[in-house]
């Protein structure tokens, strides 16, 4: 049987065909239609949620909760709790727990002081992750911590002090991946550290994938990921993504000019694909995470140069053997592509152009502008037959996910800069601006 479904238990459960897998722990997330990680319950930017509002306006918000600062971190939802990370005016970084029913703050924990602002980014950009009992958060200071649902701290570490301050021009932005009781942390960074905020008593940096016991925070392993990338091209702001093909489970990384697949139990590299930075330029930092569909992996280069569609199942270096098709016309620089309802949706946020494609062939189904001249940095989200997009200026554009392009609604919430992907859970939408977290739903 060709079992080529990334997060296969979640996908099968959504289709009513739950089957056994080594990733069985993931199936529990579907029971309440939660949004437990950055890219949602399927970790592809989509959810099976329905009955979501098409018209988004402040006047029909169910509630709004003031945010102490701006951040690109996406709200994480489990049943009646919403978790969100944020800096404040005093440069503290917080993990905030909000009641999904009324928007009131249940608890507010200060993780660490020392927030930084570099360009559009700050130290609170990574999204939290939860399993329904515990919530984990990492930030660009290197601090990583676990809390129970009452806000009690379970454990805390500082990876920067242990392995060197994170060496990123625009600050660390990867969210952790939670999988089967393990926490995977990607740190693909510049060596040697040349930025003032990255300098410490450690002169060298290693790029690595770190696997922690989620319950204790202790190392299970740390895999060093080599690269021949130079300068800023070594840096990746992407998040690790799980994938399964023909019974083989992998953790997918992108950055340092390569896409790589790793054994979830040991971190060992299974395969590697180049082609993201063929000219070996020094500014090829990676922002988008990989996307997947059955049997396929999609990775974007920096600066909107190319999207690679890679056939699964490779071993060793597959740059010349497994790239099925490429897309250079409107490849994204920041927005991670969305696989939803059998189609691949690619948003070039700089050009406001969305392309709907056949995942296996790259054939264009449609390609159109979103209708607003604003930059989109938040990744698109798919739910209820619609695609939800949020611009940096706070404009929500809702597009049909069908075979023909159609803009359903366009509403400007303002309150930019808005960098956070829209989340959906429990029949509601959660939209973060620089000032507020909004909850939208069809009122009963």
Measured CA distances, 338 to 248, 297, 341 (Å): 23, 12, 10
**Confidence band of 26 (pLDDT split at 50, 70, 90):** very low
Averaged pLDDT for residues 285-292:
96
Burial class from Cβ neighbours inside 10 Å (0-12, 13-18, 19+) for residue 152 reads: exposed
Residues pairing with 86 in the sheet: 94
**Of 192, 137, 179, nearest in space to 159 by CA:** 137
The label of the residue with tokens 């410490």 reads 200
Residues 6+ apart with CB under 8 A from 239: 38, 39, 174, 175, 176, 177, 186, 289
Note whether 28 and 132 are within 8 A (CB): yes
Residues 6+ apart with CB under 8 A from 386: 52, 54, 398, 399, 400, 401, 408
Mean pLDDT of the chain: 91
Residues pairing with 117 in the sheet: 122
Strand order in the sheet with 208-213: 177-179, 182-187, 208-213, 219-224
Q: Count of residues for the chain?
A: 444
- Helices and strands (DSSP H and E) totals, the chain: 2, 35
Averaged pLDDT for residues 186-213:
96
Q: Which residue would you say has higher pLDDT here, 59 or 139?
A: 139
Residues pairing with 373 in the sheet: none
**Confidence band of 57 (pLDDT split at 50, 70, 90):** confident
Note whether 344 and 338 are within 8 A (CB): yes
Could you state, in order of their start, the residue ranges of all structural domains in the chain?
8-55+62-347
The DSSP element (H or E) to which 310 belongs, if any, is strand 307-311
Angle 164-167-168 (CA atoms, 0-180°, nearest 5)? 155
For strands 436-441 and 428-432, give the pairing: antiparallel
Give the whole-angstrom CA distance, residue 52 versus residue 60: 13
Backbone angles phi, psi at 161, to 5 degrees: -70, -30
**Confidence band of 210 (pLDDT split at 50, 70, 90):** very high
Residue 198 pLDDT more than 90? Answer: yes
Averaged pLDDT for residues 362-374:
97
Averaged pLDDT for residues 227-237:
96
Residue 18 pLDDT more than 70? Answer: no
The label of the residue with tokens 């379970």 reads 154
Residue 2 pLDDT more than 90? Answer: no
Over residues 158-184, the pLDDT tens digits come to: 999 999 999 999 999 999 999 999 999
42 phi-psi bin (left φ>0, alpha ψ -120 to 50, beta other): alpha
- Residue 19: what pLDDT? 29
Note whether 14 and 26 are within 8 A (CB): no
- Dihedral angle, C-alpha 375, 381, 386, 392, nearest 10 °: -20
Give the whole-angstrom CA distance, residue 381 versus residue 155: 32
Over residues 300-354, the pLDDT tens digits come to: 998 888 999 999 999 999 999 999 999 999 999 999 999 999 999 999 999 999 9
In this structure, whether the domain defined by 8-55+62-347 belongs to CATH 3.40.50.300 is answered with no
Give the whole-angstrom CA distance, residue 359 versus residue 295: 10
**Confidence band of 444 (pLDDT split at 50, 70, 90):** low
């Amino acid at each position: 049987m060709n079992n080529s479904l990334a997060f296969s238990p979640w996908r099968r459960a959504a289709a009513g065909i739950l089957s056994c897998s080594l990733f069985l722990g993931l199936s529990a997330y579907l029971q309440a239609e939660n949004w437990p990680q950055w890219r949602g319950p399927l970790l592809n930017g989509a959810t099976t949620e329905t009955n979501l509002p098409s018209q988004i306006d402040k006047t029909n918000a169910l509630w709004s909760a003031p945010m102490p600062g701006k951040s690109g971190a996406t709200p994480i939802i489990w049943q009646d709790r919403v978790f969100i990370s944020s800096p404040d005016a005093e440069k503290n970084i917080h993990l905030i727990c909000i009641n999904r029913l009324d928007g009131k703050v249940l608890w507010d924990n200060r993780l660490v002081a020392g927030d930084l602002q570099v360009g559009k980014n700050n130290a609170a950009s990574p999204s939290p992750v939860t399993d329904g009992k515990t919530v984990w958060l990492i930030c660009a200071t290197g601090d990583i911590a676990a809390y129970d649902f009452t806000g009690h701290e379970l454990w805390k570490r500082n990876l920067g002090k242990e392995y060197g301050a994170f060496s990123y021009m625009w600050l660390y932005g990867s969210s952790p991946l939670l999988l089967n009781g393990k926490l995977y942390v990607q740190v693909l960074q510049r060596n040697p550290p040349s930025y003032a905020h990255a300098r410490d008593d450690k002169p060298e940096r290693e790029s690595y994938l770190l696997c922690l016991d989620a319950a204790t925070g202790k190392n299970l392993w740390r895999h060093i990921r080599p690269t021949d990338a130079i300068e800023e091209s070594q840096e990746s702001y992407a998040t690790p993504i799980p994938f399964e093909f023909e019974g083989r489970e992998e953790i997918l990384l992108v950055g340092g000019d390569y896409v790589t697949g790793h054994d979830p139990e040991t971190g060992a590299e299974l395969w590697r694909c180049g082609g993201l930075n063929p000219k070996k330029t020094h500014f090829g930092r990676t922002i988008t995470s990989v996307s997947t569909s059955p049997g396929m992996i999609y990775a974007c280069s920096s600066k909107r140069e190319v999207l690679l569609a890679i056939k699964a199942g490779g071993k060793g270096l597959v740059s010349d053997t497994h790239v099925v098709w490429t897309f250079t016309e409107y490849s994204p620089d920041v927005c991670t592509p969305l696989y939803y309802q059998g189609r691949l949706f690619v948003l070039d946020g700089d050009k406001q152009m969305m392309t709907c494609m056949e995942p296996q062939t790259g054939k264009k189904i449609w390609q159109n502008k979103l209708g607003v001249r604003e930059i989109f940095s938040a990744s698109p989200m798919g739910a209820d037959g619609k695609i939800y997009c949020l611009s940096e200026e706070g404009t929500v554009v809702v597009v049909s996910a069908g075979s023909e392009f159609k803009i359903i609604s366009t509403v400007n919430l303002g309150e930019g800069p808005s960098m956070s992907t829209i989340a959906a859970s429990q029949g509601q939408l959660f939209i973060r601006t620089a000032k507020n977290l909004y909850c939208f739903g069809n009122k009963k």
